[in-house]
Amino acid sequence: MREITDETEINMKILRTPDERFEGITDFPYEPCYTNIKTKDGSELRIHHIDEGPRDGPILLAMHGQPVWCYLYSKMIPFLTAAGIRVIAPDLPGYGKSDKPASRQDYSYQNQVDWMVDWLNANDFRDITFFGQDWGGLIGLRVVAREPDRFSKVSMGNTGLPYNPEVPQEVIEEIKAFRESNIKLHPLSMAKQVGEMDSGKTHPGLKFMYWQKFCWDTEDLPIGFIQSMQMDKRSLVSLALNYIFILLGKYSASPFKSYIAKAYEAPFPDPSYKMGPRAMPSHVPIVPDQSLEEQRKAREFFGNWDKPFLSVFAGDDPVTNGIEEDVLQMCPNAKSAPQIGGGHFYQWTRPKELSELLTNFIKEN
Binned at pLDDT 50, 70 and 90, residue 7 comes out as very low
**In the chain, domain spans:** 3-164+289-363, 169-283
pLDDT in the model for residue 365: 78
Catalytic annotation, pick one of 48, 203, 283, 344? 344
Q: What is the DSSP string of 17-72?
A: --GGGGTT-TT--PPPEEEEEE-TTS-EEEEEEEEES-TTSPEEEEE--TT--GGG
For residue range 101-138, what is the model confidence (pLDDT) as tens digits? 999 999 999 999 999 999 999 999 999 999 999 999 99
pLDDT in the model for residue 233: 82
For residue range 305-364, what is the model confidence (pLDDT) as tens digits? 999 999 999 999 999 998 999 999 999 999 999 999 999 999 999 999 999 999 999 999
Catalytic annotation, pick one of 134, 203, 220, 283? 134
Based on the residue annotation, tell me whether 203 is a catalytic residue of this protein.
no
Pairing of strands 86-90, 3-6: unpaired
Based on the residue annotation, tell me whether 344 is a catalytic residue of this protein.
yes
Binned at pLDDT 50, 70 and 90, residue 236 comes out as confident
Based on the residue annotation, tell me whether 49 is a catalytic residue of this protein.
no
Burial of 227 (0-12, 13-18, 19+ CB in 10 A): buried
Report the share of the chain in percent with pLDDT over 70: 97
- Architecture in CATH of 3-164+289-363: 3-Layer(aba) Sandwich (3.40)
For residue range 143-197, what is the model confidence (pLDDT) as tens digits? 999 999 999 999 999 999 999 999 999 999 999 999 999 999 999 999 999 999 9
